[in-house]
Amino acid sequence: SKTPSNIITRFQQYLQINTAHPNPNYTQSSNFILSQAKSLNLESQTLEFVKGKPVIILKWSGKNQNLPSIMLNSHTDVVPAEFHKWVHSPFDAHIDGGGDIYARGSQDMKCVGLQYLEAIRRLKSDGFEPVRTVYVSFVPDEEIGGHDGAEKLAESEAFKKMNVGIVLDEGLASPNENYRIFYAERCPWWLVIKATGAPGHGSKLYDNSAMENLLRSIESVRRFRASQFDVVKAGLKAEGEVISVNMVFLKAGTPSPTGFVMNMQPSEAEAGFDIRIPPNADQKSLEERIAQEWAPSSRNMTFELGQFKQKGSVHDKFGNPAITAADNSNPWWSLLVGAIKKANGKVGKPEIFPASTDARYFRELGLPAIGFSPMANTPILLHDHNEFLNQAEYLRGIEIYESIIAEYASYVEPSPTRDEASRAEL
Ligand code: MET
Ligand SMILES: [Zn+2]
Ligand SMILES: [Zn+2]
């Protein structure tokens, strides 16, 4: 089981399990993960905070149970794929002549989940014994908000008992040779704006139709979007440092058996936007902008901020979301960078993750959480057609995690210097 071909076969097996929304096959993914745990001699626990949504926790016990543990997190679900638009079917995990493995989840993030396990397999066969306990968590539903997965785990008694001191979660592929490391992420808002207006004959020009009301809002959103995008285009800020707004659906019209009624102006129209807000942005003023400019009641508009507002977990505090220190003040940061370099990997500047991950639920507890997926020299294809990861890059990532897990699991806080100790006494 040490040869690359077995390693790649196991990766393919995991990728071939269709865990795409809206009907992820969590039974099959759980069975697969539990069988891997068994072959690795890891303790396992399956938590079902919500029926049919298994959170799997694997445990590699450390010699010192008093030290805070390490949690290596990944999500088991993937976003849907349009099968006929892929060159290789998204759940075949086909490997082409150049070693590229095509599959939904190859980058986001089944690679990471299994790389953790392969790294542990190697460390175990090398006789490595962890000082700190290492947990490997596999959570459901990240792609639909994580409410029945990581959010419930973070709130649970079971998690408290794990005494976690550091969480690793997903990052992004890097098109160049530098691995990317993320210390924070943007906060997601899923906004739906709705316009109502007088219906009327398709030929009539009049003010305040639902469509006109909605279009004026869309124009306003687009101006804001352009202003943010310009800052990125000018090279003044990174993608994760501005507010992104993208329209993701439009819903309007009076349906007919052949499509839509063409000579009626409808009385309702809706648009949906994916918005991502950097940690230091003023959430309050954005909500005011939405209420005053994008969905003003004076133009018969209403808006909803979706599941995040209702669940109250991320959005309605109006505080700045928690971030993890990305410098030497955080030993986990230095250890990670050091471990990657030790394994001959290169590291880019600390970044804000432009999308969102389950790491936010752990950061909100005050825990350090770092986003990292070891994929260098790889185009960024998450949520895209033809998502792939090269097998050599996958194997390289296992070496990187071997180095990281070895450093993390061996880390014992240095005893204070005499100076520090005396200062503590004062
Ligand atoms: C908004 S919940 C997170 C889902 C997914 N990871 C995304 O960033 O879109
Ligand atoms: Zn994703
Ligand atoms: Zn992901």
Counting residues of the chain whose pLDDT is more than 90, the rounded percentage is 92
- Residue 393 assigned to a binding site: no
Active site annotation includes 141: no
**pLDDT exceeds 50 at position 310:** no
**pLDDT exceeds 50 at position 311:** no
**pLDDT exceeds 90 at position 31:** yes
**pLDDT exceeds 50 at position 1:** no
Counting residues of the chain whose pLDDT is more than 70, the rounded percentage is 93
Nearest CA to ligand 1 atom 4: 143
For residue range 14-27, what is the model confidence (pLDDT) as tens digits?
999 999 999 999 99
346-347 and 259-260 strand pairing: unpaired
Query: Given ligand 1 and candidates 73, 76, 107, 143, which is best to mutate, with the most ligand atoms within 8 Å of its CB?
Result: 143
Identified catalytic residue from 77, 100, 185, 402: 77
- Residue 143 assigned to a binding site: yes
- Residue 100 assigned to a binding site: no
Dihedral, 34, 38, 42, 48 alpha carbons, nearest 10: 20
As given in the structure block, the two tokens for residue 64 are: 């010192």
The confidence score (pLDDT) of residue 3 equals: 66
Nearest CA to ligand 1 atom 7: 356
Say yes or no: CB of residue 374 within 6 Å of ligand 1.
Answer: no
For residue range 328-340, what is the model confidence (pLDDT) as tens digits?
999 999 999 999 9
Domain range 188-311, its CATH number among 3.40.630.10, 1.25.40.10, 3.30.70.360, 1.10.10.10: 3.30.70.360
Say yes or no: CB of residue 145 within 6 Å of ligand 1.
Answer: yes
Could you tell me if 357 and 185 are in contact, meaning their C-beta atoms sit under 8 angstroms apart? yes
The confidence score (pLDDT) of residue 321 equals: 80
Q: In residues, how long is the chain?
A: 426
**pLDDT exceeds 60 at position 314:** no
pLDDT mean over 95-119: 98
Identified catalytic residue from 118, 142, 148, 151: 142
Ligand closest to CA 382: 2
As given in the structure block, the two tokens for residue 326 are: 């990305």
The confidence score (pLDDT) of residue 419 equals: 61
- Residue 207 assigned to a binding site: no
**What's domain 4-181+326-410's superfamily in CATH?**
Zn peptidases (3.40.630.10)
Query: If pLDDT is split at 50, 70 and 90, which confidence band does 421 have?
Result: low
pLDDT mean over 221-249: 98
Tell me how far the alpha carbon of residue 357 lies from the centroid of ligand 3, in angstroms: 6
Domain ranges of the chain: 4-181+326-410, 188-311
Active site annotation includes 212: no
Ligand closest to CA 142: 1
**pLDDT exceeds 90 at position 313:** no
ipTM of this model? 0.98
For residue range 137-171, what is the model confidence (pLDDT) as tens digits?
999 999 999 999 999 999 999 999 999 999 999 99
**Cα separation values, 304 from 189, 190, 208, 277, 290, Å:** 10, 8, 21, 17, 10
